[in-house]
Amino acid sequence: MSEDILKLSAMQLDALREVGNVGAGNSATALSQIINRKIDMTVPQVAIMPLGDVPDVVGGPDAMVAGVYLRVFGPAPSSILFLLPRESAFYLVDMLMGRESGYTKSLSTMDESALMEIGNILAGAYLNSLSHFTKLTLLPSIPALAMDMAGAILSVILIQLGQMGDHALVIETEFTTETEGVKGHFFLIPDPGSLDTIMAAIGVKG
């Protein structure tokens, strides 16, 4: 799979970016309704990278991040990892819980639930978008949350994945409210053969 995923053409990456854009739009609508504030979301870039490079995207292996992890079931089984810098996670929790920005310094059980719900909404929105484009039924598992160094979170996930996926599709996601912006990274890690299934279903040849 590692060879296939690295051979995606510009047209295929454009198709995946369009999936990301629609997913971001759906996520923004859902989050805006929850917090009763307008949120804009954009997808500045879509890229393919080795899993080992994932921590570098969020500031290096020692960077403290919140990670939401889900499995995807269906004809194109995959994993989803949503990573947010710790301060961005606190900001999102404050926004979601109706607190003043900067209030949260550590996560309570309720805050963790809120972050998992954001991960749930994002995963659902992206999977709905992907299902719309591919006509494949893709269902997310219940999310798991960890707050740790990016390298530590990735190590746990790599152990869970074993040899299932060694590259990730990165959909960079920027949340913007009226006052501040937050950048998160949404990683889709297809199991072997899943990316081929997705691209064939979208109908974009290399």
Would you say 65 and 147 are in contact if contact means Cβ atoms under 8 Å apart? yes
Nearest CA among 64, 60, 160 for reference residue 107: 64
Q: Residue 198 and residue 136: Cα distance in Å, rounded? A: 8
| Model pLDDT, residue 72 | 93
Q: State whether residue 76 is helix, strand or coil.
A: coil
Q: How many domains does the chain have?
A: 1
Q: Does the residue 117 lie in any domain?
A: yes
What is the domain-level CATH number for residue 194?
Answer: 3.40.1550.10
Pairing label, strands 78-85, 64-73: antiparallel
| The pLDDT value given to residue 23 | 83
> What range defines the domain where residue 126 resides?
2-201
Read off the DSSP letter of residue 99.
Answer: P
206 touches 5 (CB < 8 A): no
Between CA 12 and CA 27 the distance in angstroms is 23
Inside any domain, residue 121 = yes
Low-confidence ranges of the chain (pLDDT < 70): 1-6, 162-165, 179, 205-206
- Residue at 206 is within a domain: no
180 within some domain: yes
Rounded Cα distance between 122 and 145, Å, is 14
pLDDT digits (tens, 9 = 90+) for 44-103: 778 888 877 888 888 899 999 999 999 999 999 988 888 888 988 898 888 888 888 889
Model-level pTM?
0.82
Give the tokens for residue 88. 């961005």
Instruction: Identify whether the C-beta of residue 26 lies closer than 8 Å to the C-beta of residue 128.
Output: yes
